A and B are shown apart, each in its own frame.
Chain A
């Protein structure tokens, strides 16, 4: 390609980009999908989880003992940040019904004659029940109720032990010989906002990029403006695409950077390797998602089918990315399929760079993978051009 041709191509890209900017501003739908929806989700998810962990989860206590010991136990349980004793009752059935009503997520059961039995060595048994259908609430309450049960045993053990003349160290060695000290690397607070929002928000961005890319190309076909678009792009589908998608890239990158600044700046979430790796990550996610979007409408040039594909793919991402349920535990087919989702690579880069601060060498492959998505438009270019020229939209 000589210099004049290059100059003409650049001019064409510019012309198409200007045309596209006019189209974007003219349709409120674009403004909604490119700005309103992602911003809304950022505000929603970050404010929903601003505490990091759910606090004051209600439980019911069935205290059949009603002694000073049991009451003190309940007070200590209530003092935990995650637990709130919202109900005290003498009937287990009442507590269970409260659980079915969704009023409590856990039940702590103190048997009759608990205090008396404990001091006389009759080994009374504490029981606690958590609701497995609310996984997060259940596991947080499990932790608190277990801690209090261990502490209760500890304090009784301490009393009987000192009575026998044992030292505190000896008693500890008796009660709990092996202590497990846990370190959750990168997220020591087990903060759910860190855990989820780092991926949910870019996930929404990816979904909106799929939809907007498919929509902006598909509606050219639907409203029969695609030939005009191609002409402006010098009859080259790649030049036309470049010009059309450039304004999108710019806007979505800005939205992505805003997300980064909210996550790592405003909320100060872990960012072990500094800004650059994540800025590059979000930029490549934008480009890769656009490329996938082009591919979708290239394969299914009917607007509604292209959009259905984009919706399905975009929504399934949230599950297959392996955030809540690890990919390694899924069916092998799904493990392979997960690589087809840009967000999956974004997620693995995030884990290495932002969360753990690992060397670049461990995740450069995923940067390459994100770049590799950009081959997709070239693969589908012929098909797409054919659709732009000859495809007749059938409603």
Chain B
């Protein structure tokens, strides 16, 4: 079928027709192959075009010279000529917009408003993005009480974990009569897998400084500390630079911006102790003592650093302050849920496609974070649980994925908001092992002051180790629950008060896994080494020798192309054989 629409005619289709008929005759094919002229085919740009039936082969941009080859190849030998066929242009996938990408589209940046946009080591770039305008507003247009009212009305709550209303905290310090007063920024982020605060400081250190300056105006504090862990060298360097630059501009020091505020900030390095999440421990460490909590009251607002009235807020809390002052309490409180306003920054890690830093409005569901933003679970595995709140938090199972995140909702299901670590776990994660891991961390991090915490966590950890080793007893679950309650009741600070959470929440939602470990001596996820054995499926094994070559213990024997065997007495259950096998012939049970 030769197209004889105007387009192809002017491209010389009749010459093609002649050449074609001639060539067909030459090969005596004129009776077998009919040349039909058709109307416009519609693809004029590629003309002259031809369609060969019945195969529907589409030829384009034909010339007379192509015809002998075409006839010989296609009609005589039955091989369509590839180079004359139409190939659709390689599909140009347009680069998507940021808002169309799940990871970015669902985020809303307040604390992280300048991330990736400014050079954190240039104060002018911060100023270019509207930096320090909130400070000017606070110094020139607002009285301290108005600032506190705005923060109160915004509904901002402590982002370090406990969720105490920030405005109320400020109010207490403002009301204290004694001077000097101190402000502290807690940058001692201690949860494993959490890096929200580090990232905020690294990308936008001035947002924290400005927040603290506004806090100084509101509370009457004259001195600020950033208590930052030693493990964050880049964040510390950037913070030091930011403070120097702010001082040079007169944004720190005496008579800030010529408006009479006196306030300066210095940096205190912490050794990265988890217990410093507790305010009174942090104060002790800041003063050079060992970080042990003390009884409250008196609260830091009455007696904090050097026994002076002190207000401690977390990095993310401070970073929110300038935006609240600039855009107003009403704007901020319009975002989020009934009890939890604004956004929350999470570090999403673990068994999830997109790991990274995520800022979403309060009330976003776990499902949205794990699947829409996080991109789901890699390697087509199933989701099992998400751990929020770090070692003090809990594991939330799949059937609660639609839980909207806020302080209260997370507490209702046995976890906590915490500082925002979010660890995603897949089906290959053993929940008893997870509880054991967190208790091991907490056992090391307990400061040792309270017996219940120091000894209790150790005993709980011992029981979990025993269960993972296959030596669990029928009564273990009940003993764990009883110990958990005792530790919660008898610990002074939140470390002990929340330490049993990882155990309690895993017992609550994954009790069957505990029971499998204890009663059946088996680890359903195939993690606990004492309870698993690796075997080779005789049907599936092709005898490729890959596993035996990779086994560090030389525990696998078998000739090439014959079924291999694992010598259980040599096997250390490292799982390398399973990882390297291409035929899924290594089984774990």
A and B: interacting chains: no
Which of A's residues lie within 8 Å of B, judged by CB?
A: none
